[in-house]
Amino acid sequence: MVTVIMPVRNEQKAIRLSLSSVLAQDYPADRLEVLVADGMSDDGTRAIVGEIARRDPRVRLVDNQARIMAVGFNSALTFARGEVIVLLGGHSEIAVDFVRESVALLKEHPEAWCVGGPISHVAHSRFGKAVAVAMSHRLGVGNASHHFANYEGYAEGAPFPTLWRWVFERAGTLDEQLVRNQDDEFYYRIRQAGGKVYISPRIRYTYFVRERMRQLFRQYFQYGFWRIPVMKKHQRPTTLRQVIPSLFYLACICLLLIGVWFRQPLVALALPALYGGALVAVGLSVLPRVGLQVACRVPLAIATLHAGYALGLMYGVWASFFQPRAWDTGGQMATISR
């Protein structure tokens, strides 16, 4: 039995497509159930899920009063009947063989407690398509292997993972104190417990990226901000990839101050100019593939996700010293879906 758990909130535009892709799986219908953990949506999402549930008894709506992804997932997990658990978001559409291939991959790799596939980013607007490019380019996301379409092998984590249910008994459930980065923290516990995460392009799905600059900035600001409590919980530094944006911004500020103080404009502008040149180079490199209207927005998309993450992380560092209760109200900052 496989249980698909979907923590969502206000996903009216995407939930029907997401759910339809789950219900269309070529996995035996009598061995599949779907639990939608809804964070009390007020945009019509609940009505759509209810309508689908009335037509298909495999679908069940679970209330998530806390409106936090981890709480919703853990609540749904208590109702799950499957020995295999799939975590999906309302911003995704999975291939028809997603569940079958995921279960097969788990069996083929007994050392892997969790399996998943590389992300295929999808968007409709020009800026959204630029975001999709940014999220699959090394300048945008570093060496995070799950962002690259053809990668197969072990990884730090897997977006929309498939796991054996016993993994939650050994590694624990998702940390309900974390509004963001709860999956990253969970994968860390899996690795600490001796498990591995395996990714294969056989696991196919698409992820609908944020279509507006404000949404993208907010998403990555939250990722950066919630990185701090994860680091404090495990008393470990994050990876270099995850602190590079913040280090870069701090270096720019330092050079700017030095340049102004010593009247050396070349020093002040050196790093921003280098960064800007790199962004333009990325835009030019994807021009033949995506066209001018999208390519010219790629530098802005990359800069937005870098700035959001960097500023969120720096604010998190500041808050840990001067505003330690900032994370207590963090649930008001976050949407529940990825």
Q: How far apart are CA 184 and CA 294, in angstroms?
A: 30
* pTM of the predicted protein model: 0.85
Give the start-to-end residue ranges of the domains of the chain.
2-212, 229-332
The domain made up of 2-212 is a member of CATH 3.10.105.10: no
Of the chain, the percentage scoring pLDDT greater than 90 comes to 60
More confident residue, 148 or 34: 34
Q: What is the band of 186 on the pLDDT scale with cuts at 50, 70, 90? A: very high
Please tell me the predicted confidence (pLDDT) of residue 143: 67
Please tell me the predicted confidence (pLDDT) of residue 285: 96
Q: What is the band of 337 on the pLDDT scale with cuts at 50, 70, 90? A: very low
What are the pLDDT digits (tens) for 18-74? 999 999 999 999 999 999 999 999 999 999 999 999 999 999 999 999 999 999 999
Q: What is the mean pLDDT of the chain?
A: 89
- Where residue 20 falls (left for φ over 0; alpha for ψ -120 to 50; beta otherwise) is alpha
Q: Where are the beta strands (DSSP E) in the chain?
A: 2-8, 32-38, 59-63, 84-87, 92-94, 112-116, 120-122, 153-154, 162-164, 196-199, 205-208
More confident residue, 256 or 52: 52
